[in-house]
Structure 1
Amino acid sequence: MTVTVTNELNFFTTGDGVRIAYRIDGSEEKPVLMLANSIATSLGMWEGQIAEFTEHFRVLRYDYRGHGGSDTPAGPYSFDRLGRDVIELLDSLRIDRVHFLGLSLGGAVGQWLGIYAPERIDRLILSNTSSYLGPAEQWYSLIDSVLHTENLTGFADMFVKNWFPAHMLETENEIVSSFHRMVLATRAEGIGGSWAAIRDMDMRRTAALITSPTLVIGGQYDTVTLPSHSELLAKTVPNAELNIFPAVHLTNVELHAEFMSAVLAFLLQTE
């Protein structure tokens, strides 16, 4: 495992030879908060929250394999591999424990960590995510189509329609445009590989093994990870808190102030 440093992005190489990009912001004296992104985005999806988070935490962000500045190995991927990418990154930085906030795909990674590496997680936030998005059959055609597309424009249009409310899509919106560009910058193999991990995911029962204090955040109008998925997750994880916002999928962007208020209140609790 090797670690290299550039101006903004740092890189480390996983045990299976994949270079993963990451970034750290904030004071070394503060506890570490790790952020994990939605599929088809980069660590830039948290840019609007970094100033507030770094008032309280040292913030660690990273790009999944196939996303952002990271390498793109051939798929399919699995949550076992995506979870071990996190563990290896923490090991490379000599970080024992973190608070972990994952949204969408990141929330599924967070569930895996809470189940299989509980000793590495302090407080856990699972936002706009699910423990199961089956049946598996529905994913095969999507994976095949993204792997054989000539460009990702149609998929970028699909993603932003799933992520944002209608009023943000009706007129030119720089935030929406920035996320559209993030999708276009993602490699098809990264999207297809990650969809394969989602296809094979079922943590509906094992999520009951999570022991970290957990906050589940859902979107009332989320058509990707339905409110019922958040409700089931909150019922499954012992003593989990549940907060459903009047939002679509990217609650951190659409309802920034409300999202940050809930997240910081949860993370700054003293036991």
Structure 2
Amino acid sequence: MNELSFVAAGDGTRIAYRIDGASDRPVLMLSNSIGTDLRMWDGQIEALSRHYRVLRYDTRGHGGSGVPLGAYSLDRLGRDAIELLDALNIDRVHFLGLSLGGFIGQWLGVHAPERIDRLILSNTSSYLGPAGQWDERIASVLSATDMGETAQMFLGNWFPKSMLDAGSPIVETFRAMLLATDRQGLAGSYAAVRDADLRRTIALIERPTLVIAGQYDTVTAASHSDAIAATVPGAKLLVLPAVHLSNVEFPREFVAAVLEFLAA
């Protein structure tokens, strides 16, 4: 397994990344959800890296990346992605983001279309208001005695009850990721989602776009994906019978849809 590599973002924050796949292939960039790191894509790498040079990175506040204090902004998270590409001398990528990664993908589609070939937005939203709920979550995660309760909340939002009750090994893998996530990273990322509203601006996205929804997603409801697909010109919509982590619950169908869309 490749070790993590690191670059510095424009504000000096360390961004961790790794690359899988041959250097002569087109680049597919993957962006993770809040509370995970680049390992959330482990189950898809073998299939994706047969066709693409896969670039994964840890969003600031997560995994091997730095954890600045205070609120993060979607603008800063988007520029982290661009500055990583700049550091690696990569001009253009296909971009796949899930949840928070999908917010970042929308921002890139609006603000840096020249860096994107095809855009895949999975289990995400263009707006997750009202702001007050995020302020409560920020206060709660920063004051919690430990991360156990926060991890349990996330897992309940991410996986179907059947997987949780069965004590699935994959659930425990994600629990470990959550427990290893710095609470400041969660709080900073919550703030980025709190302050983001892309409902109007995503109409400016010109890149070919696939929206993947989870039929049973309680975090970024399928109706949010409907709204994105209806607003982004020409966007395609795929609904999987998943909760929030469509790539984990339905890996075969997820990868097949991604590869078919990218090859179109």
TM-score normalised by structure 1 residue count: 0.96
Identify the match of residue 14 of structure 1 among 3, 9, 24. Answer: 9
Deviation at 1:7, TM superposition (A): 5.6
Q: 1:27-53 CA deviation, whole Å, 9 max, x = no partner? A: 000000000011010100000000000
Q: 1:72-108 CA deviation, whole Å, 9 max, x = no partner? A: 1012000000000000000000000000000000000
Deviation at 1:166, TM superposition (A): 0.9
Identify the match of residue 58 of structure 1 among 50, 53, 56. Answer: 53
Secondary structure at 1:23 match in 2: strand
Percent of pairs identical after alignment? 64
In structure 2, the residue matched to 1:180 is 175
In structure 2, the residue matched to 1:106 is 101
Does residue 1:198 correspond to 2:203, yes or no? no
Deviation at 1:110, TM superposition (A): 0.1
Secondary structure at 1:260 match in 2: helix
The one-letter code of the counterpart of 1:34 is: M
Deviation at 1:212, TM superposition (A): 0.5
Deviates more, 1:133-142 or 1:24-33: 133-142
Distance 1:268 1:251 in 2: 20
The one-letter code of the counterpart of 2:245 is: L
Distance 2:69 2:57 in 1: 19
Distance 1:98 1:73 in 2: 27
Does residue 1:115 correspond to 2:110, yes or no? yes
Does residue 1:239 correspond to 2:243, yes or no? no
Identify the match of residue 29 of structure 1 among 11, 24, 30. Answer: 24
Distance 1:147 1:109 in 2: 24
Q: 1:46-75 CA deviation, whole Å, 9 max, x = no partner? A: 000000001100000000111000111012
In structure 1, the residue matched to 2:73 is 78
Identify the match of residue 184 of structure 2 among 170, 186, 189. Answer: 189
Q: 1:160-193 CA deviation, whole Å, 9 max, x = no partner? A: 1100011101122110000000000100000000
Distance 1:7 1:225 in 2: 32
Does residue 1:141 correspond to 2:136, yes or no? yes
Distance 1:56 1:73 in 2: 35
| Residue pair 2:117, 2:207 contacting (<8 A) in 1 also | yes
| Residue pair 2:215, 2:239 contacting (<8 A) in 1 also | yes
Identify the match of residue 42 of structure 2 among 34, 47, 65. Answer: 47
- What 5-or-longer segments of structure 2 have no aligned partner? none
In structure 1, the residue matched to 2:250 is 255
Computed over aligned residues only, the root mean square deviation of the Cα atoms, in angstroms, reads 1.0
Moved over 3 A (4+): none
In structure 1, the residue matched to 2:33 is 38
Q: 1:95-132 CA deviation, whole Å, 9 max, x = no partner? A: 00000000000000000000000000000000000000
Aligned residues: 264
- What 5-or-longer segments of structure 1 have no aligned partner? 1-5
Secondary structure at 2:145 match in 1: coil
Q: 1:176-233 CA deviation, whole Å, 9 max, x = no partner? A: 0000000001000000000000000100000001010000000100000001000000
Secondary structure at 1:179 match in 2: helix
In structure 2, the residue matched to 1:68 is 63
Does residue 1:222 correspond to 2:217, yes or no? yes
Distance 2:239 2:69 in 1: 36
TM-score normalised by structure 2 residue count: 0.99
Identify the match of residue 125 of structure 2 among 124, 130, 150. Answer: 130
Distance 1:7 1:165 in 2: 32
Secondary structure at 2:114 match in 1: helix
In structure 2, the residue matched to 1:3 is none
Deviation at 1:150, TM superposition (A): 2.2
